[in-house]
Chain A
Amino acid sequence: MSALAETTAALAFPSREYFAALAGLMNANRARQEQLGYIDCTAVFSVTEADDDGATRHFRITFEEFSAIAVDEVTAEEATAADFALSGSLATWRTMLESIAAGAGRPALEQTLNYLSHLGTPLKLVAADPLKSDLYFRYNQSLQEFFNASSALATRFDG
């Protein structure tokens, strides 16, 4: 766990605050974003909780140029308006985030976004058309590093 993580209160995952903190970390590291290049898309990350009713929460991040400019928790219907959505169970997201934390910002080989989504499970990529799903590939490194920054956060999993 990083020094920052040790000194800040743990943030619950999934929550709007958690994704807002990731957005804040991305925006604070502008120099790295400028190296990676523009990212222009609206992405939804959907997390299905493990409790009995298996409710799914959707977090929409709007990326523009080098920044995450908006973070919202949205309804399932609102989520469909995003360019693409990446959905999975809380257990899947938790394992990925814990792997990133254990690797100090670098996930294990089998815990990258592409690894987890390539075969459609345990993460599933959903988009209205292939041009929109291609955005997930066009910005893959940026999206990976968006989540890699979570190693700087203290994370609490309430599910």
Chain B
Amino acid sequence: MSVRIHEMNPLPAALHEQELAGYEAAYRNHYQAWAEVLARNVEAIRRGSYSLHWMETGEARWGKRAKPSSRGMTYADINRIRGYGDLPEQATWFNFAPRGAVRDRYRDDMPVIGDYTVTDKNELWAENVITLYEEAKARKWNATRDIPWDEVEALPEDLEKATAQLCTFLTEVEFVAGDFPAKWLYRIPQDFLEVKSFLATQLMDEARHQEVFRKRALSCGGLLHAAPGFEWALAAILEAPTHTMGTFLLNVLGEGLVLSIFRSGEMIAKTHVDKEIFRRCLQDEARHVSYGVMELKSYIAGHPQREAAIEELHRFCDVGEQVILTAFTEPALIEPLAVLLGGGLKYIDQGMEGIRHVWTMFINEYLQRCECAGFDRRTRCTIPLEFPWGAAA
């Protein structure tokens, strides 16, 4: 008997027996503590008995009146209140109990979240993180509404394709720029709520960037080519071994490069729409770079084995800098950039001269940012200081 494929019954949707069994087993291990809390509470409800323990203020930092500043009520304003703004050097709370709440007496009844692994303040704090968080909220924009999409103009085919290819690259990059903070966000304990809040804004910024470049590409022909070179570079960022190393690679090195590309993008934009897109994006990117620099500075300055930590960072950079070399030698990036810088395919050679300038500028800025953080990379930099275009010709 022959059966046509489209007449066959569909396979049942995949089940998750193994995952569910693992979850059940894990929870059985914790079940006793949970069950005791639940039993106590159920019993009190059945007795019709109030506890009202939550009204006791003996252990609480109660009676405070936070005062807003002219901007409203910021984290900086509430952190001035004694006991609420003290960040631990090393987190010891691995659940969701808020910093400043009465929580010590409940410690043994609470779960421990094993994924909270970034426990050193040194590995995530930056002096400017609260300022940047407030700024990110205040300067947010909307890729649907704030770009004059009705003014998109058709460009000559070479410029149209170059714009679409640049947008394809930027969309690809923005995916990792969102995934990296997302990966680490949930590994950071709640006591570092200011950093978690800032990373949440970075995630939103990157979502908006991939959105705006995808929309721009689809408004001028569509997406063009993904590139293996980018993919390896982006994977190296996502898989960085520590939060500080990854933040250095993404925020200082990677976003530093993307900031240069956005600034170049604004300069070479052929329409007011593109100008607006790049100008909006470069503001967000500069915030991320700023966090990266200050986080690195804080890490180095506060490390108990400063010299050893710096040497470790150098080792990481020897690999990490290849990310930039990989991206900036990928034809799917530098060729469309050169076409846009030159003003057309037939001026691509002149455009390459422009890229030479952008390269030098980017490397100098990168080295200055490292220096500003207390990390002298000048003599150890593995990226050529000059753009190697045509060097072997």
Known pairs A38-B134, A129-B372, A131-B372; A109 contacts B293 (CB<8 A): no
**Residues on B with beta carbons closer than 8 Å to the beta carbon of A138:** 135, 139, 283, 286-287, 290
Interface string of A19-50 (1 = CB under 8 A from B): 00000000000000000111010000000000
B131, B139, B275: the one within 8 Å of A109 (CB): B275
**B197 interfacial contact with A, CB 8 Å:** no
Interface residues of B in 146-196 (CB under 8 A from A): none
What DSSP secondary structure best describes chain B's contact surface? helix
C-alpha spacing A139/B132, complex, angstroms: 12
Known pairs A37-B138, A65-B70, A134-B289; A139 contacts B368 (CB<8 A): no
**B270 interfacial contact with A, CB 8 Å:** yes
**Residues on B with beta carbons closer than 8 Å to the beta carbon of A118:** 263-264, 266-267
Interface string of B187-222 (1 = CB under 8 A from A): 000000000000000000000000000000000000
C-alpha spacing A130/B271, complex, angstroms: 29
Interface string of A119-151 (1 = CB under 8 A from B): 110000000011100110111110010000000
Cβ B71 vs Cβ A130 within 8 A:
no
Cβ A137 vs Cβ B293 within 8 A:
no
Shortest beta-carbon distance, B393 to chain A, in Å? 25
Cβ A38 vs Cβ B139 within 8 A:
yes
Shortest beta-carbon distance, A91 to chain B, in Å? 20
Known pairs A38-B135, A138-B283, A140-B283; A115 contacts B267 (CB<8 A): yes
C-alpha spacing A143/B346, complex, angstroms: 35
**A114 interfacial contact with B, CB 8 Å:** yes
Cβ B279 vs Cβ A141 within 8 A:
yes
Cβ B290 vs Cβ A131 within 8 A:
yes
C-alpha spacing A131/B131, complex, angstroms: 13
**A58 interfacial contact with B, CB 8 Å:** no
Cβ A137 vs Cβ B283 within 8 A:
yes
**Residues on B with beta carbons closer than 8 Å to the beta carbon of A137:** 259, 263, 282-283, 285-286
**A106 interfacial contact with B, CB 8 Å:** yes
C-alpha spacing A11/B134, complex, angstroms: 37
Interface string of B239-277 (1 = CB under 8 A from A): 000000000000000000001000110110111100100
**A56 interfacial contact with B, CB 8 Å:** no
C-alpha spacing A38/B287, complex, angstroms: 13
**B140 interfacial contact with A, CB 8 Å:** yes
Cβ A114 vs Cβ B263 within 8 A:
yes
C-alpha spacing A112/B91, complex, angstroms: 47
**Residues on B with beta carbons closer than 8 Å to the beta carbon of A109:** 269-272, 275
Known pairs A38-B134, A109-B275; A130 contacts B368 (CB<8 A): yes
C-alpha spacing A138/B70, complex, angstroms: 21
Cβ B279 vs Cβ A140 within 8 A:
yes
Shortest beta-carbon distance, A73 to chain B, in Å? 27
B140, B267, B275, B372: the one within 8 Å of A130 (CB): B372
C-alpha spacing A134/B289, complex, angstroms: 8
Shortest beta-carbon distance, B69 to chain A, in Å? 10
**B121 interfacial contact with A, CB 8 Å:** no
**Residues on B with beta carbons closer than 8 Å to the beta carbon of A40:** 131, 135
Interface residues of B in 343-357 (CB under 8 A from A): 357
Cβ A140 vs Cβ B267 within 8 A:
no
Enumerate chain B interface residues (CB-CB to A < 8 A). Answer: 70-71, 131, 134-135, 138-140, 259, 263-264, 266-267, 269-272, 275, 279-280, 282-283, 285-287, 289-290, 293-294, 357, 361, 365, 368-369, 372
Known: A36-B139, A114-B266. 5 other contacts (CB 8 A): A37-B140, A40-B135, A109-B269, A114-B279, A137-B285
- 10 A-B pairs in the complex with CB atoms less than 8 angstroms apart: A37-B135, A38-B138, A38-B139, A40-B135, A109-B272, A114-B266, A130-B368, A134-B289, A137-B285, A140-B282
